[in-house]
Chains A and B, each alone.
Chain A
Amino acid sequence: MKTKNATGIGNAIDRVEGHLKVTGEATYASEFKVENKAYGQGINSTIAKGEIIGIDTSEAEKLKGVLKIITYKNAEKLKTFDKERPVLATDSIAPVLQSNKVHYYGEYVGFVVAETFEQAQYAASLVKLKYKEDATARFILGQNKDKAYNPSEESDYERGNLKKGFSEADAIIEQTYNTPIEHQHPMELHATIASWNNGKVLVYASQQIVEDAVISISGTFQIPKKDVRVVAKYVGGGFGSKLNVERHLIMAVMASKMVGRPVQATVTRSQMFTNTGLRQSNIQVVKLGAKKTGELTGLLHETLAYTSTTQEFQEPCGSMSKMMYNVANAAVSERLVPLNLQQPFSMRAPGEATGSFALECAMDELAWKLKMDPVQFRIKNDTQEDLSQEKPFSSRLLIECLTIGADEFGWNKRQQKPRANKKGNWLIGYGVSAAARAAPFNETHAKVLLDLTNDTVTATLQMDATDIGTGSYTILAQTLSECLNVPLEQVVVELGDSDYPITPGSGGSWGAASYCNGAKSACDYAIAALKKNRNVPNDEDVSIAELLKMNQITSYESQSLAKPDSEFKKHSIFSFGANFTEVWVDKDTGIYKIKRMVNVGSAGKILNPKTAYGQVIGGLTMGAGMVIAEQTKVEPNFGNFITRSFADYHVPVNLDMANVDVIFLPEEDKIVNQMGIKGIGELGITSVAASIANAIFNATGKRMRDLPITPEKLLMAEVEDGVTV
């Protein structure tokens, strides 16, 4: 699509919502002015498995300001699961406080409502719970492999003949890769304000998918959808943790009904560890075989992960292994072990972020064994067809990503032999990885309201889409500016309200593509209808103001939708990328520095280079975090998380981050959707960890297969066989 004006798509304009955010005027969930609201605070269990056998609320009740203490004894009856461990989805019900059973450490066992936040918090600490502990609780994935089962969602995948594939190989590697529990930790804490009015509930919430939140709330309380309104105007980051309705929200809705007042619930940062989702730990085995000449002959990717004892969630670690390379014989399987830990759910690039670590490290290991350049090895195994879906890719510029990235990075200066590049106490290494992330596009509805006043058209867009900090407001304003050919100042974007037309929300890298195409369809519909009324030929260039005048109207409302067409369904749709990393490892201390990164992506039309850059930088940083230090540590005897604040859950700091070069390849994909948009929200994080780990191998000769790669682990690791020190 050609850009008609300076604020249309493709322009690197500043965020339209930026000023509101830096001046504090953007209203996040807990900031809506609601009269007479009370505050609720969840009480967390302090055992991992067992039953509550006594509750003493007397001390808490005596406190000034306490309005209500809710436990399983007096909680409203909610819809509960009708089978054991149902699959968790974004619109699942979220029952809470329905029995005296405790399934994991930190589970909500009560909710205190008081006049102030401080009173509620203190009262919550005074509620005394007596438990009967069940000693059969299980916490550690590696120690419970025998409890694994085949999850219902993903069945085993196989193509070709794996045995034959490996027998044809000249070189085979088989390794195990471990990734820890991680937490999403968006900056904005989960928060909600719920208020009932005439049997209808209004919920201000921090949610990524407004429509699914409505379904979840109505399902949990067994009330009609039309009686639930969810508003999420601004969301301060989600990373998957706000896809689902979490229990504090349900408790706030319940409490508001019980005390007859609006109730606000904001979880604490330490509750963000126990009550708002996480990325599960995985143990992945990857076996790869290839001919001397580099052609892959076999690929096996087995994942063992945990789920909670109450619901099932599988992070599809093998998804990239299925489609990435031209290997005729491949098998991917996933197994789950139920543990007494918090329910896992999606965290940015679920499956790809962790699966790519295993696959792309294994590729590096095999390249090293074949004495092949790892860039060339990947190029050799490129494919333009997704062998797992037996469909061509709508577009795939992986080879270009790799070659352009290699040039930009100076890959030709890399020594193939580890420990060959030294400077003082530093060992210097280069690493590469390739990335792919599905680029979904889902049905999206949008409404556009046109208003003509004093010769000036104001276009207002309404949809229930959310901006989770990515810049949805901005790219949608650009889309309207483009499609209606009006300057940005004449565009108003209104999002995040379930009263608006339904969208798939933000998540899974589908937001930008879905939202923008949805908005475009409403604009196109308006223009076409207004032209048709006055018999203006479709290809005639008439301004939107002119069209309204010709129709002798001053306002017009159009609603339409965009959805995948048949061409879309005939193709496999992914964004691709390549990561190059230079690390410097201190030979004596295990400290290392990520000096430089080059990231090349091909992700269709880039709507706004600024917001896109932000997405990729954020992804790279989160990917670097996976390597540097991010991990939630499980206490082996009690099952609690001992990392419970940002002081001990280490996310990268500025000093940890490299000089980063982000390059978007121009890519025109006519198949994916009308605007040619693919997702980039999760491409940035995919495979970053592998490129860093591969660089660490190149620097030190040590294969680090357990994330994160902390100084203590790196120092204690042995150099691989065959590497000269």
Chain B
Amino acid sequence: MRPFTYTGTTNRNEALKAFTTTSHYLSGGTNLVDLMKEHVEQPDQLIHVKNLQYNGISKNKDGSYTIGAMRSNADTANHKDIRLYYPLLSMAMLSAATAQIRNMATNGGNLLQRTRCPYFFETSMPCNKREPESGCGALNGVNDQHAIFGYSDNCIATHPSDMCVALAAIGATVEVQKVDGGSRKIDLEDFHRLPGDKPEKDSNLEPGELITHIHLAKPELSNHYAYVKIRERSSYAFALVSVAAGFQIEDEKISKIGLAMGGVAHKPWKLIEAEEFLLGKKPIESNFGKAAELAMKDAKPFEGNRYKVPMGKNAIVRALMQANNIGE
């Protein structure tokens, strides 16, 4: 690992002040430190932000909740209100990594975890995300875990988070603190980017912006929900494909719905057409099947990841069925 300096602080302004363009905020370190060991990330300075006071979970006036960016994934997923009002989020978070990693990992870090593309991790390989203009090794190489939606010739990587897929289904806003002292809110849908011609940028954060909170939309999808994650072993594996589904039923029809997929794009992939199709429809398998067809119709797989199309369809139907049958 390349030597670096370490700044530990419990004071937000100190953290922001310490920021330079070659610094990284360090939170749980479960992603950043791994990448430093591989020489993928080589910061001059780590600013440890985990001990800043953004680790609460609080209820807002409209019934929605705000979770702190520095709170651990484990303490978020196991919080009684999150389990009660956002069970989909809890389920997705608990499907990630291992108990040990979830204890260390934080919500802010989870949003910004980087792709698991193997070329990104190996500094001797070409990778536009790690080293712009060096080429994309995966494009004509091993691409079985890569995107089927929204990629560009520059990068076909996926975003690996489970938490973010659930957030996309539920609806969320990310609050960040700017270096100059102000703050702003970014809709989750605009938080992560598609690779386009800037694959090195995963998100729309500006340099030095510090994530402080995630505001969750009102808890309206807590009756019927499911997170289906298909992976190569029963735990401690990233999703090949995952689906977060939550809906509400009124008069035997779907009155509100959130649907998103993981493992298929550079960001959590909202299934907007499928959502629109299902609104006002009966929650039955044939409708779910049609929604899944709609969701996958524009998929453009590669040699190695053709399986994601049928697997994705089946996962969508399974998630919706499971959500529908909940409590039965």
* A interface residue numbers (CB < 8 A to B): 46, 118, 121-122, 125, 425, 588-591, 593, 628-629, 633, 635-638, 640, 642-645, 647-648, 650, 652-653, 655-656, 710-713, 715-716
Contact = CB atoms under 8 A, between A and B. Distances in A.
Contact of B122 (A425, A640, A650, A656): A640
A638 B234 contact: no
Given A46-B124, A589-B318, A642-B142, A125 B39 contact: yes
Interface in B302-327: 306-308, 310-311, 314-315, 317-318
A106 to B, nearest CB: 10
A716 B313 CA distance: 13
B233 A652 contact: yes
A46 B125 CA distance: 9
Interface centre among B137, B142, B234 (most CB of A within 10 A): B234
Interface string B132-151: 00000100111010000000
Contacts of A121: 1
B182 to A, nearest CB: 37
A61 to B, nearest CB: 16
Contact of B234 (A425, A656, A712): A656
Given A122-B2, A635-B141, A711-B240, A643 B118 contact: yes
B153 to A, nearest CB: 17
A650 B233 contact: yes
21 contacts: A125-B2, A425-B318, A588-B314, A588-B318, A589-B315, A629-B233, A635-B118, A635-B137, A635-B142, A636-B141, A636-B142, A638-B124, A638-B125, A640-B122, A648-B118, A653-B234, A711-B240, A712-B308, A715-B307, A715-B310, A715-B314
Given A121-B1, A628-B233, A633 B142 contact: yes
B232 A118 contact: no
Given A628-B233, A711-B311, A588 B317 contact: yes
Contacts of A640: 122, 124-125
A649 to B, nearest CB: 11
Interface in B220-239: 228, 230-237
Interface string B223-264: 000001011111111001000000000000000000000000
Contacts of B144: 712
Contacts of A656: 233-234
B307 A712 contact: yes
A568 B196 CA distance: 70
B116 A589 contact: no
A653 B236 contact: yes
Given A640-B125, A715-B307, A716-B310, 13 more contacts: A125-B39, A588-B314, A588-B317, A589-B315, A593-B234, A629-B233, A636-B142, A637-B141, A638-B124, A638-B141, A711-B231, A712-B240, A715-B311
B1 A637 contact: no
Nearest to B321: A425
Interface centre among B230, B233, B308, B318 (most CB of A within 10 A): B233
Contact of A637 (B140, B232, B308, B310): B140
B325 to A, nearest CB: 10
Contact of B230 (A589, A648, A713): A589
A189 to B, nearest CB: 14
A81 to B, nearest CB: 27
A650 B237 contact: yes
A96 B181 CA distance: 57
A24 to B, nearest CB: 19
A655 B236 CA distance: 10
Interface in B282-315: 306-308, 310-311, 314-315
Contacts of A713: 307
Which are the 4 A-B pairs with shortest beta-carbon distances?
A: A655-B234, A46-B124, A642-B118, A712-B307
Contact of B311 (A589, A593, A629, A638): A589
A178 to B, nearest CB: 16
B306 A642 contact: no
A46 B34 CA distance: 20
Contacts of A643: 118
